[in-house]
Amino acid sequence: MLNKEKTNRRAWVISGPSGSGKTTLCEALLKDAFWRKRLAKSVSYTTRPLRSGEKEGRDYRHISEEKFLKLKRDGGFYESEKIFGSYYGTPKKAFLDAKREGKDLLLSIDVKGARSLRKSLGKDAVSIFVLPPGLKVLQQRLRHRSTEGKKDIEKRLRRVKIELSFMKDYDYIVVNDDLKVALAKLKSILTAKQCEGTYVLRTIGKAYR
């Protein structure tokens, strides 16, 4: 379990169904001149093949199943899960690197992985669920993905019901109907949480002693 007293940084945990736009929102946030100086992106490890349009090390770190399972046995992940036949995991190194840089960690992860992190980090994890405006819109977004086959889309749509059942456990819910509006809401959440008294005192309070 992560030692909360030694972390002194926040983890922004972003989740949502495939097609909700959570990855796009995270990418837009990291392009923002203000937030890219304050956030470090956690790049998950996965055993699935590299998809069209993805860049190794930016979207995921692709490794063999053998290497993944070895990392898991060695305690290299805070959480890991097998989804649609492939493994995904959040590396512990991401937290250490973010802390060393004096940044908070931004994670775009599955609902079950998010639950594990919230349990480990407590109040140091701020969870945000990205919700599409409706199931029909979600279906359309998945069908327009060139990387998704028909069978894969059907699997993901079945998984949506499971993912939505976790929604009530999140601190915030952002409906992504309009990307600019959703991004503005996401920034507002981050800004408000950064101004919480307990967080400010924990992170920079020593400068005033």
Please state the pTM of the whole predicted model: 0.82
Residue 34 has pLDDT above 90, yes or no: yes
Residue 3 has pLDDT above 60, yes or no: no
**All domains in the chain, ordered by first residue:** 4-42+104-208 (3.40.50.300)
Q: What is the pLDDT of residue 30?
A: 95
Residue 70 has pLDDT above 90, yes or no: yes
Residue 18 has pLDDT above 50, yes or no: yes
Residue 49 has pLDDT above 80, yes or no: yes
Residue recorded with tokens 């908070």? 104
Residue 118 has pLDDT above 70, yes or no: yes
Please state, rounded to an integer, the average pLDDT across all residues of the chain.
86
pLDDT in tens, 133-165: 887 777 777 777 655 566 777 777 778 888 889
Contact assessment for residue 25 and residue 177, using Cβ atoms and an 8 Å cutoff:
no
Residue 205 has pLDDT above 80, yes or no: no
